[in-house]
Amino acid sequence: MIKNYLNNNVARYASKWLVLCIDVAIMILAFILSYLVRYNLTLDFDVAQLPFQLPIVALVATVAFLMTGSYKGVVRHTGVKDIYNIFNAICLSSILMILLVLANKKLAIFGWTTIPLQIIIVHSLIGFLALSASRYIFKSIYQSIVNKSMMDHKRVLIYGAGESGIITHSAITNHSKSNIKVVGYIDNNSKKAGKSINGVRVYDKRDLTENFIVENNISEVIFSIQNISPTALRGLVEGLVDFPVKVKIVPPVEDWINGELKFSQIKQIQIEDLLDRAPINIENSKIAEELKDKVVIVTGGAGSIGSELVRQICKYNYKSLIVIDQAESALYDLQQELKQNGYHNFLAIVGDIRDKNRLNHIFQEHNPNMVFHAAAYKHVPLMEYNSYEAIKINVAGTKVLADLSIQYNVDKFIFVSTDKAVNPTNVMGGTKRIAEMYISCMQQEHKTKFITTRFGNVLGSNGSVIPLFKKQIDKGGPLTVTHKDVTRFFMTIPEASQLVLEAGAMGQGGEIFIFDMGESVKIFDLAKNMIKLCGLKYPEEIDIKITGLRPGEKLYEELLANGENTMPTYHKKIMIGKVRELDYIQTRSLIDELCVNNMFFKPNTISLMKQIVPEFISSNSELCKLDAKKEPPQLVDKIEATTKIFQP
């Protein structure tokens, strides 16, 4: 057992003991060299004293190295801190030598004559230079051997020659499994151009051309610039997407692990950075005040929007949080994530919003103050031929929740809608518009404040276009786009969730909140940019295939319907939609009839939907035949606001 212990520890620590021995040997040689330097490379000194002095020098050096731990550094990763440790060791060694010399003068402890102070000083300087040089020589030899053994290593540029860029270089070179060679830095400051940092040249940003990349065989450009605005970053990245390189990015300093950048944190830049819109941040939020000591229910809590809502709500001082979803596995994953992040004041319930008895029991037991309703079927082509399920959850499910909210005196009901509810051309959009209309009808009860949020596509959500494109790129393509001119509005999941929470805070009932989402994005251009960001060429390496519009799909989405307008709020990015006035009694009656007919599988459900929503005209679908004899809806000349603006 003892033998195994010794073998294991010798193997483990052999390298640092070897470094210690080499360092001591260097100090011995440096001591001899210091005499030669002092006496002009002659032997005009008492050479006979060296056999007595050298063991003392070796002993003192060993003690100094052991006390400072300078020998423990990994030599092939030598950095400034290691040189600092060597400096401390040399200083300590010099002090100990001087003390020994003084003691020997007083007490004559040793049998050798005194060592001149000049020799000790010269020995310190030569020793420091020799030890530092040995570290860098070994490091250079190691890197040279490694580089020669890596015939397929990547050649990269680091964009940013500041502190962050230097740290990025260290993270790359110190990573044991990295097969990357940093060719140079690119910096916007032309004064740095032509200089070197750690032996790596700095280039001006004007040098970064396609010819430069090709001639130097550059495969990646890593952006390592802190405190840069998204707009500026997007401009820099867009200048590279046409070049045959992959573009990566270093995360913000606050996201580094224990304040240190790890090689694994350098990730490929996301397509979100190329969208023609700046991220929206909610400021002066009243969310904390609104959620304080409240019982909150989130339906569809395991979905893309719902789960992010839950994550953000967890940061506030609520009383309790009930998360409802029928997707057991996704709900379990969310539950484990929240627990690992230290959140425990929540309850995950597997349930279906179409089950009125189950929901009634939940409302009765928990008596919620706020309901965030994000549960829905959302995939347009799938719902086009599954209208029963679309109506059952998007309309009937919303109806159940809204009715129970009034019954149990819920303060606020926030409904997550979609831009597909505007002038709908498909069953999914039609059901969401009908749900909006039912919400408006319930607002007339004046018990619960019903609020609707309406926004476009969410980046990275389940089934959205960007994850689909990523999978298609991983498989070698082609990317599929339904039409070359199709456009969509985009926002991130956190932005969408912030909108819903902010709407819940500012809403006073009856509003349809609409986000200013900037310009719509052409999906074809989005696909091309994603291909280029991966360092691939379009169409030589990955092509884009036009598949044709899917059933119910629009060329472009809208945030306002015919006869609708907007009014401002205290936040410049959030508006209130002014919608045309409804006949609430008739609308509610027709919606009740729709739910009953759907329950009994009556064939007139889609026709009834089109009656409830006159602007619902099917597109590229078998359901278009229902519009054949239908007169186009008349525009409403007089627009009456059915909402009111919250005055902060």
Domains along the sequence of the chain with CATH: 2-146 (no CATH), 151-269 (3.40.50.720), 287-463+489-519+552-627 (3.40.50.720)
Number of residues that this document lists for the chain? 648
DSSP 3-state assignment of 290?
helix
**322-372 pLDDT, tens digit each:** 999 999 999 999 999 999 988 888 999 999 999 999 999 999 999 999 999
Lowest mean pLDDT among 149-153, 313-317, 517-521, 617-621: 149-153
pLDDT band (50, 70, 90) for residue 32: confident
Q: Would the pLDDT of 457 be above 50?
A: yes
Q: Are strands 295-299 and 154-159 parallel, antiparallel or unpaired?
A: unpaired
**258-273 pLDDT, tens digit each:** 667 777 778 877 766 5
Q: Would the pLDDT of 192 be above 90?
A: no
Q: Would the pLDDT of 635 be above 60?
A: no
Lowest mean pLDDT among 20-34, 376-390, 442-456, 527-541: 527-541
Beta-carbon contacts of 5 under 8 Å, excluding residues fewer than 6 positions away, are: none
Lowest mean pLDDT among 301-310, 408-417, 454-463, 527-536: 454-463
Confidence at residue 278, expressed as pLDDT on a 0 to 100 scale: 54
Stated pTM of the model: 0.64
Cα separation, 261 vs 248, in Å, equals 14
* Token pair belonging to 207: 């040098």
Q: Which of 233, 272, 231, 232 is nearest to 250 (CA)?
A: 233
Three-state SS annotation for 482-548? CCCCCEECEEEHHHHHHHHHHHHHHCCCCCEEEECCCCCEEHHHHHHHHHHHECCCCCCCCCEEECC
Q: How far apart are the first and last CA of the chain?
A: 76
Higher confidence at residue 228 or residue 513? 513
Q: Residue range 376-384: average pLDDT?
A: 90
DSSP 3-state assignment of 280?
coil
**What percent of the chain shows pLDDT beyond 90?**
23
pLDDT band (50, 70, 90) for residue 517: low
Confidence at residue 388, expressed as pLDDT on a 0 to 100 scale: 94
Amino acid at 262: K
**51-87 pLDDT, tens digit each:** 878 888 888 888 888 888 877 766 666 667 778 888 8
Confidence at residue 6, expressed as pLDDT on a 0 to 100 scale: 40
Tokens 């819109």 correspond to 277
Three-state SS annotation for 387-444? HHHHHHHHHHHHHHHHHHHHHCCCCEEEEECCHHHCCCCCHHHHHHHHHHHHHHHHHC
Q: Which of 270, 480, 284, 502 is nearest to 372 (CA)?
A: 502
- Residue 183 is given by DSSP the state E
**581-599 pLDDT, tens digit each:** 788 889 999 999 999 999 9
Q: Which of 122, 499, 466, 107 is nearest to 271 (CA)?
A: 466
Beta-carbon contacts of 359 under 8 Å, excluding residues fewer than 6 positions away, are: 351, 353, 400, 401, 404
Q: Taking the alpha carbons of 41, 42, 46, 51 in that order, is the dihedral positive or negative?
A: positive
Confidence at residue 365, expressed as pLDDT on a 0 to 100 scale: 94
Confidence at residue 77, expressed as pLDDT on a 0 to 100 scale: 65
DSSP 3-state assignment of 568?
strand
Higher confidence at residue 212 or residue 10? 212
**152-176 pLDDT, tens digit each:** 577 888 888 888 888 888 888 777 5
Higher confidence at residue 639 or residue 492? 492
Confidence at residue 136, expressed as pLDDT on a 0 to 100 scale: 80
The burial class, CB within 10 Å (0-12 / 13-18 / 19+), for 316 is middle
Q: Residue range 21-50: average pLDDT?
A: 82
Tokens 């596995």 correspond to 329
- Residue 260 is given by DSSP the state B
pLDDT band (50, 70, 90) for residue 648: very low
> Which residues share a beta bridge with 325?
350
Report yes or no: 441 and 448 within 8 Å, Cβ to Cβ. Answer: no
Q: Which of 139, 294, 412, 420 is catalytic?
A: 420
pLDDT band (50, 70, 90) for residue 113: low
DSSP 3-state assignment of 325?
strand
Confidence at residue 427, expressed as pLDDT on a 0 to 100 scale: 94
- Cβ atoms within 10 Å, residue 66: 13
Quick check: is 105 catalytic? no
Report yes or no: 190 and 204 within 8 Å, Cβ to Cβ. Answer: yes
Confidence at residue 511, expressed as pLDDT on a 0 to 100 scale: 84
Report yes or no: 561 and 636 within 8 Å, Cβ to Cβ. Answer: no
Q: Taking the alpha carbons of 360, 401, 345, 462 in that order, is the dihedral positive or negative?
A: positive
C-alpha pair distances (Å), 228 with each of 223, 251, 356, 383: 10, 11, 51, 43
Higher confidence at residue 571 or residue 283? 571
Cα separation, 529 vs 544, in Å, equals 11
**What percent of the chain shows pLDDT beyond 70?**
81
| H/E element, 43 | none
Confidence at residue 176, expressed as pLDDT on a 0 to 100 scale: 54
CA atoms within 13 A on the CB side of 609: 36
Amino acid at 512: I
Q: Would the pLDDT of 421 be above 90?
A: no
Write down the mean pLDDT value for the chain.
80
pLDDT band (50, 70, 90) for residue 274: low
pLDDT band (50, 70, 90) for residue 558: low
- Cβ atoms within 10 Å, residue 180: 19
Lowest mean pLDDT among 10-19, 154-163, 203-212, 475-484: 10-19
DSSP 337-394: HHHHTT--SEEEEE--TT-HHHHHHHHHHH--SEEEE------HHHHHT-HHHHIIII
- Number of H-type helices and E-type strands within the chain: 20, 22
Show the CA angle centred on residue 59, arms to residues 85 and 72, nearest 5°: 30
- Residue 576 is given by DSSP the state E
Confidence at residue 89, expressed as pLDDT on a 0 to 100 scale: 86
Cα separation, 387 vs 632, in Å, equals 23
pLDDT band (50, 70, 90) for residue 373: very high
Confidence at residue 394, expressed as pLDDT on a 0 to 100 scale: 95
* Residue 563 falls in which region: left (phi positive, over 0), alpha (psi -120 to 50) or beta: left
